[in-house]
Amino acid sequence: MKNTESLKKNNDFRIVYRNGKSVSNRLLVLYKLPNNTNRNRLGISVSKKVGNSVVRSRITRLIRESYRKHEDKVSIGWDLVIIARNPANGATFHEISGSMYDVFKKHKIYEDK
């Protein structure tokens, strides 16, 4: 993640939830909020409702890797929070990656070069 930091603090997540815009599809919800920097900050949230710790960890890894694959085409200067929905449990990497592409396109922060 070259131009990306992690969102770690609960307060940072809350600010994005409260002030950001969201779009969703079957697997993911994406919140975005401008952060006025030259980097993106990424937060990933996978609820206990989605599965046990092994499942949540796997989904988090898939989301992080999928973001890494798309990262060079995502606009810079955003705080992004990606939330996994229940159907993400059991989804393949390609399904997650396609879902992420979809929410980035809906938010118009994905630049096809």
Instruction: Check whether 4 has a pLDDT greater than 90.
Output: no
Q: What is the rounded average pLDDT of the residues 18-39?
A: 94
pLDDT value of position 48: 96
When pLDDT is averaged across residues 79-92 and rounded to a whole number, the result is 94
Mean pLDDT of 47-58: 96
pLDDT at 66: 95
| Reported confidence tier of residue 30, pLDDT bands at 50, 70, 90 | very high
Q: Residue 53 has what pLDDT?
A: 96
Q: What is the DSSP code string of the chain?
A: -TTEEE---HHHHHHHHHHSEEEE-SSEEEEEEE-SSSSEEEEEEE-TTT--HHHHHHHHHHHHHHHHHHGGGBPSSEEEEEEE-GGGTT--HHHHHHHHHHHHHHHT-B---
Q: What does pTM read for this prediction?
A: 0.92
Beta-sheet strand order (sheet of 78-84):
4-6, 40-46, 78-84, 28-34, 21-24
**What percent of the chain lies above the pLDDT cut of 70?**
97
Question: For 57-71, what is each residue's pLDDT tens digit?
Answer: 999 999 999 999 999
Domains with residue ranges and CATH for the chain: 4-107 (3.30.230.10)
Say which residues have a Cβ less than 8 Å from residue 24's Cβ, sequence separation at least 6. 30, 85, 103
